[in-house]
Structures are given as C-alpha cells and as structure tokens.
Amino acid sequence: MQLAFSFPLIYRILQPSFPDCLWSGDLNSKAIALTFDDGPHPQYTPQVLQVLDRYNITASFFWLGACVNRSPDVAKAVSDRGHWIGLHGYDHRSFPLLTPKELKESLETTQAAIYNACNLNPAQVLDVRPPNGLFTPKTLKFFRQWNYRPVMWSVVPEDWVRPGVTTVVRRVLQQVQNGSLIVLHDGVCGGQDVAATIEVLIPQLLKQGYQFVTVDNLWRHNNKEKSPIDHL
C-alpha cells in the first residue's frame, strides 16, 4: 500500500517535535537539496551521476556501508565529483531495533568503508539519515553524544515502491517549496527509475528558479552561519 499522501502530514507533525534534526532549509531561499538513499549501486548510481553531471548539480548521498564495500569504485566516483556524503547505517536495519553498541558499530563501520573507498576522514562524514526514517529520542541522544547530525526530509515521493516516473515527479512538484529536502533512492528499491526521474525533474525545478545545494549547505543556513553557499 502506497503511503505517499501521508508523508507531508507526518513531516508537519514530527518536524517541530524534533528540532535537532535537519528537516528542511531556509524557507526564504530557493535553495533545495536533492538526496539519494541506499547506495551506492553499481548500475543505478552511475546513471544518477551522468544526469547530475549534465546539469552541473551537486547532490547528497546517504550510503549503506555494505554497499560501499561492494562498490568502492562507484563510491569514489561520487565523492570525487564533490557530492556530499552521509551515513544510512551499514545494512539498513532500523536504528531503534539496534542496541547502542550495534548502532555505534553500524555507523563507525560505514565511516570506515567510506574512508577505505574515498579517503574521506570519518570526521567529515557525520550526517546520518535513519533507515526507514525511524528513530527515537534515545537515538537522537546517542547522535548528540557521538557528534553525528540527524538528517530527515520534507519531500518523500515514495519512489522505492516504483509508482512510475510520472507519479514521482508529480509528487515532488506538488510538495516542493523553498528549502525542501527531497529524498530519492539509488539502491535496490527504487533505483531502477531514479535516473529517468531526475532527468525529468531537474529541468522543471530549475525552470521554477530552484537552486540545488548540499545537505551541509542547509545546515549552515539553519545555523545562521555566514559562510557563503558554494553552489548558489
């Protein structure tokens, strides 16, 4: 059963209750973030990179450690292009089901895989998006304790159930607004259509005046730092 209609409501309920999470960016700015979960994938991620290259867009990728270990060359290709890298756990197990030790190991093992593939220092890879969007206050407490930054979303078109490119594009265009944090998937579930989806979606968003930035840029906006945004 598709639940895409409910995600905007869930966002409105959860966002004020968990302000330490990054849900979106500056509502006064046309800057939005395009993010991809569940990769890197040996076929789908390179297809995504081709589209992003064509439009000179920098995106953010939340990786599974197991997938990085399986496709280190793909991971390096993403990193070498300057895309922002975050963590999605090692094997997509929901964080609330893990013990604190298992959760810490899941994140640290994923950081190690990224370091081995991309030579990115673990201190540079601190953004975490929980698999399935599931977390508890205790999860967030551990993130703070371990100096990770929790990242969620504001636009979720449920592309992982493959409702079709047209449907995913329509859902994004209906929900997008200033500061939106859009989540798509370049992994096993949903990755088959993701390149075709952004090939249609990106030109339409550009036509509407949106500018693509990374998750880190959204954090900087929200923290009111004075550093300029690299991709505006």
Residues contacting residue 196 through CB under 8 Å, at least 6 positions apart: 165
Question: From CA 80, how far away is CA 67, in angstroms rounded?
Answer: 17
| Residue 231 is among the residues annotated as catalytic for this protein | no
Q: Which of 83, 88, 92, 185 is catalytic?
A: 185
Strand partners, 39: 63
Question: From CA 202, how far away is CA 211, in angstroms rounded?
Answer: 10
Question: From CA 136, how far away is CA 111, in angstroms rounded?
Answer: 22
Comparing C-alpha atoms, which of 117, 106, 127 is closest to residue 74? 117
Catalytic residue numbers read: 37, 185
